[in-house]
Structure 1
């Protein structure tokens, strides 16, 4: 026979209404009472009837996660499991579940978002990207459902909450780090240029060069989407230049792994012949060969803060729409060094 709210109330010596308020995390119940009731639930093996709670509270206690790409493609990038870990940590704390989009195309992901919203399957959503010509964010604005974007919105940023790094400044600092080592010929390899984060990092790279009195050389600026063969062509083009770069800023560490592999196959050593600094600083960065100097964007914290913001917005839909900027840190490892030309 299943344990009921009345059973919990009797054992904890409180009223059934108090147990209900604990389940909804009511501010009217003290932390001491909440702790006692929750301990009793654990002792009795009480499990919440989520379907009944949805009917009573008109709440799913679920957050929808809108993936940048299909789930299968996204999970190949260590950035996404880490950001989901941060999201899950705060959701668990507030007893929210999460639901991921699983579509294999942008249109399929958009259609899943519509189903989440129209079917009232979630109380709010976290969009894991900011992109030009995106269908999802305008739709969520139109539907007036609580949501938070991870990344600076491409437009209408004053109408929504978002969590991000200052990617322009972070890329500027990454470029200046290489300049301080003595590099003057610095390239940039980005990923999908339709995403705002890539545009911001490219702009920061350019600022870093220009403020140091160095020229932005178009032939040094490349981009490719991870998983494609274009990286081979990019490295061929850079190697074929009469005056080659001695260092590269790379906008994502998964792309940096692919670049380092291609350099190694051509007998170009990192960092002696080519210094590399990347973004994200996922756990694999410290295990690359050589360990990679990276801009730590604090991915876990991005997810944690996005989760906190959307749950706050669910509870107060009229709250001021603001941004949260997570600081970045350069983790210096072995993929960068003083260029040989600066030593002679």
Structure 2
């Protein structure tokens, strides 16, 4: 016979309502009681009927993740598995499932989100990116649907809960590191200008040049996808200039990894011939030869805080949008030398 919630309650010597609260991970139930009830569930082989619970609570106990592009490109960048790990950790604590959605076009992604929201298939959403004039963000605001953003919104910032680094300051510090080593010809390699993170990091780079009275050169600013191929194309373009840069601020370690490999094929040495400061501090930064100086943006924490703020919205009758800034740190390695 299949065990019931009453069987669990009897074995744990608690009421059935207490068992229900343990299943829902209610904070009012002590950890000691939770352990006793969960052990009873395990001993009996009891598994909660989440579908039935959802009908009663009117909750799907599922959140959605909106990816910025087709999955085959997204998962070439270690940023996304790590930020999802942070989201998953918090979701597991709240006993929530995760549904990931992506598409080959923005229209496909929008249509998928529209269907999920209108079909009440999710309790909330996390956007893993922030774009200029984002149709999805505007739609979610119109629907008053719980969502958080990893990245600063381009508009309606005061209406949206988001988690981000101070990307302007981080980029300023990265550029200053090269300036302090005596570099004057410093290039910037970033993603597309439709991404707010690119705009902010370009802003920080330009501020650092201005503060140091260094001339800004439009040929030194290159935009590519956050892929190794993008890094290869960027460095070929920059090194073909009449006066190529001696220092690079690269806004993603995957781009930087592609740059390092291409420089090696060109017969140029990182640190001796050109210095590189990168962003994200993922595994690529340590695997690179030489290892990359990189800005650690605490990717796991970005995901964890985004999920935490989303659950606060889901569990609250009223919600005040808030900005959460995750600290960054410049991690010094072997990719920078004096000019």
Matched, 1:250 2:250: yes
Matched, 1:330 2:330: yes
How many Å separate the matches in 2 of 1:167 and 1:227?
20
How many Å separate the matches in 1 of 2:43 and 2:293?
49
Partner of 2:223: 223
How many Å separate the matches in 2 of 1:255 and 1:217?
21
Deviation at 1:336, TM superposition (A): 1.1
Instruction: Show structure 2 runs of 5+ residues with no match.
Output: none
Partner of 1:161: 161
- Are the aligned partners of 1:146 and 1:317 in contact in 2 as well (CA < 8 Å)? no
Question: TM-score normalized by structure 2?
Answer: 0.96
How many Å separate the matches in 2 of 1:273 and 1:74?
32
How many Å separate the matches in 2 of 1:231 and 1:278?
12
Question: TM-score normalized by structure 1?
Answer: 0.94
- Are the aligned partners of 2:61 and 2:95 in contact in 1 as well (CA < 8 Å)? yes
Partner of 2:148: 148
Q: How does 1:1-40 map to 2 (within 5 A)?
A: 1-40=1-40
Partner of 1:211: 211
Q: Tell me: CA distance 1:95–1:233, structure 2 relative to 1, closer, same or farther (3 Å).
A: closer
Q: How does 1:217-296 map to 2 (within 5 A)?
A: 217-227=217-227, 231-296=231-296
Q: Say how many residue pairs are matched.
A: 339
How many Å separate the matches in 2 of 1:131 and 1:65?
15
Q: Tell me: CA distance 1:228–1:294, structure 2 relative to 1, closer, same or farther (3 Å).
A: closer
Partner of 1:195: 195
- Are the aligned partners of 2:228 and 2:258 in contact in 1 as well (CA < 8 Å)? no
Deviation at 1:320, TM superposition (A): 1.7
SS in 2 for 1:319: coil
Partner of 1:77: 77
How many Å separate the matches in 2 of 1:3 and 1:234?
62
Matched, 1:123 2:123: yes
SS in 1 for 2:324: strand
How many Å separate the matches in 2 of 1:93 and 1:28?
15
- Are the aligned partners of 2:162 and 2:306 in contact in 1 as well (CA < 8 Å)? yes
Instruction: Show structure 1 runs of 5+ residues with no match.
Output: 340-344
- Are the aligned partners of 1:70 and 1:101 in contact in 2 as well (CA < 8 Å)? no
- Are the aligned partners of 1:191 and 1:255 in contact in 2 as well (CA < 8 Å)? no
Matched, 1:54 2:33: no
> Deviation per CA, 1:274-332, whole angstroms, max 9, x where unpaired?
11111111122101111111000010110011011101110014122101100100111
SS in 2 for 1:284: helix
- Are the aligned partners of 2:62 and 2:124 in contact in 1 as well (CA < 8 Å)? yes
How many Å separate the matches in 2 of 1:301 and 1:85?
9
211-220 or 295-304: bigger deviation = 211-220
How many Å separate the matches in 2 of 1:258 and 1:195?
21
* Aligned Cα root-mean-square deviation (Å): 1.5
